[in-house]
Amino acid sequence: MVKVSQPKDLLQILLSVLFISVMIIACLWIVRPFVLGFAWAGTIVMATWPLMLSIQRLLWGKRSLAVLVMTLLLLMLFVVPVALLVNSLVDNSGVVVDWVSKGNMALPKFEWLHAVPLVGDKLYAGWNTLVDSGGSAIMAKVRPYIGATTTWFLGQAIHVGSFLMHCGLMLLFSVLLYAKGETLGNGIRHFAFRLSGQRGDAAVLLAGQAIRAVALGVVVTALVQSVLGGFGLALAGIPNATLLTVLMLLCCLVQIGPLLVLVPSIAWLYWTGDTTWGTVLLVWSCVVGTMDNFIRPVLIRMGADLPMILILSGVIGGLIAFGMIGLFIGPVLLAVSYRLISVWMHEAPQPLDDPHQVVELLEEHEGETLAK
């Protein structure tokens, strides 16, 4: 008996695809405000999941207590430092804005240059000669750019509010993910397996390794450096050590390093005549400023072997693309993509033929094709 194939209804197929596309776009549009916060929370939860399980075992196997402890840790590590930084910026920005807007700007005299041995008097004389000869002209040219820069920074204050909102969403989603992590993880693996079988399941697991590597290599290293650097600042008696520690954390997250905060602090100690603590902080800064060269590679390789240029590009690109939250999401996206592409490429053997022979065979084939 011959089976007659039913003709495909093209209109039905088009309408089905259109309906599914509209539903997907509508769902993405609805959850769009929460995507960055959820991605940030997912990164943190995946990186700290082993720690949460260890805390749960210590707390008599109670998941609720472990979630409470992890929530408090996230508050101390992310929300409280950001709140301190924003509060300090708000408190001190009014004076700066008022000073710039009134135009009462003049080049400093740098009287303290006299205290610099050997070259201090010459530096002071040269600087003030430059100021006396054209200081007003210099400030007239620089003032418009200072005003434009100040306006730009004030405009970025809107992004600070957005970042704080994402912090709140991150905390909320982290609590939910800690509580139902196994269920969500199995659901993601099931969906990936439905798409492409074992390859999809492996892709999800590889993505998890890359996320953990980035979180360990970037965030943990930044936390260690900023905490140790802040301890040195507080021990040396630097004013506003807490605020400077938060700034140091941000500098470490964007891969600038803690020395941008530590070096001016050392100079301030020497300038005020406290050479003993200045020397102590100098030695301590050498240790803190170089420890990322040893800690970061070890932590990254604990999760996945990722090149540092990839992490650096992800941090800078994420900061430009998504703002401050991109510090966490940018390197994660690049790391996951890199791991998946690397595994896909290594499924096939590397070409071992001589490049010259390959080119000659290609040219011979082209010649035969043209001859025909």
Q: Is 6 left (phi over 0), alpha (psi -120 to 50) or beta?
A: beta
pLDDT of amino acid 21: 94
Q: What is the C-alpha to C-alpha distance for residues 318 and 300, in angstroms, rounded to an integer?
A: 19
Question: With 80 as the cut, is the pLDDT of residue 296 above it?
Answer: no
Q: What is the C-alpha to C-alpha distance for residues 174 and 176, in angstroms, rounded to an integer?
A: 5
Q: Residue 332: which of 73, 46, 75 has the closest Cα?
A: 46
- Sequence ranges of the domains in the chain: 192-349
Highest mean pLDDT among 38-52, 99-113, 329-343, 354-368 belongs to 38-52
pLDDT of amino acid 6: 56
pLDDT of amino acid 344: 82
CB atoms under 10 Å from CB of 112, counted, come to 12
Of 220 and 147, more confident: 220
pLDDT of amino acid 58: 92
Burial pattern 90-107, b for ≥16 Cβ within 10 A else e, equals: eeeeeeeeeebeeeeeeb
pLDDT of amino acid 70: 92
pLDDT of amino acid 69: 93
pLDDT of amino acid 30: 93
Q: With cut-offs at 50, 70 and 90, classify the pLDDT of residue 1.
A: very low
pLDDT of amino acid 22: 95
pLDDT of amino acid 156: 54
Of 143 and 54, more confident: 54
Question: With 50 as the cut, is the pLDDT of residue 318 above it?
Answer: yes
pLDDT of amino acid 159: 62
Of 79 and 228, more confident: 228
As a whole-number percent, the residues of the chain with pLDDT over 90 amount to 13
Question: With 70 as the cut, is the pLDDT of residue 98 above it?
Answer: no
pLDDT of amino acid 175: 92
Q: Taking residues 102-115, report their average pLDDT.
A: 58
pTM above 0.75, yes or no: no
pLDDT averaged over the chain?
78
Q: What is the DSSP string of 308-343?
A: HHHHHHHHHHHHHHHGGGHHHHHHHHHHHHHHHHHH
Tokens linked to 3? 């089976």
Question: With 70 as the cut, is the pLDDT of residue 104 above it?
Answer: no
Q: With cut-offs at 50, 70 and 90, classify the pLDDT of residue 176.
A: very high
Highest mean pLDDT among 118-127, 168-177, 312-321 belongs to 168-177
Q: Which ranges in 59-119 belong to alpha helices (H)?
A: 63-74, 80-102
pLDDT of amino acid 173: 92
pLDDT of amino acid 109: 62
